[in-house]
Amino acid sequence: MAKISHKPIRMCVSCRKRQFQDNLVRLQCAEGSLEVYKMNGRSFYLCKDCIDEEKKVLKSLMRQCKSGDKDKLMNKLKEIITDDGKS
């Protein structure tokens, strides 16, 4: 018998596609700054495809964080992705 997988599926806020959580990065915004989700507050997901497209992902980040500080958001995102890759 085949095992049914119960992988959680979440929606990317940028492309609005539904994906397995494995393929998404969970983030949150705290006071206009981007952070990795820390178990409280409002969070959102971005898929790895969107993260590869800076311009596209930036629009979503600015909307989610209500911030126009593109450099800050983008730098933070890169930092988060890099950290994620190490663990």
Q: Which residues bind Zn ion (CB under 5 A)?
A: 12, 14-15, 47, 50
How far apart are alpha carbons 30 and 68 in whole angstroms? Answer: 14
Smallest separation, CB 27 to Zn ion (Å) = 12
Q: Which is nearer to Zn ion, 40 or 80 (CB)?
A: 80
Q: Which of 64, 66, 65, 61 is nearest to 77 (CA)?
A: 61
**Closest approach of Zn ion to the CB of residue 32, in Å:** 22
Nearer to Zn ion, 50 or 77 (CB): 50
* Residue with smaller CB distance to Zn ion, 4 or 43: 43
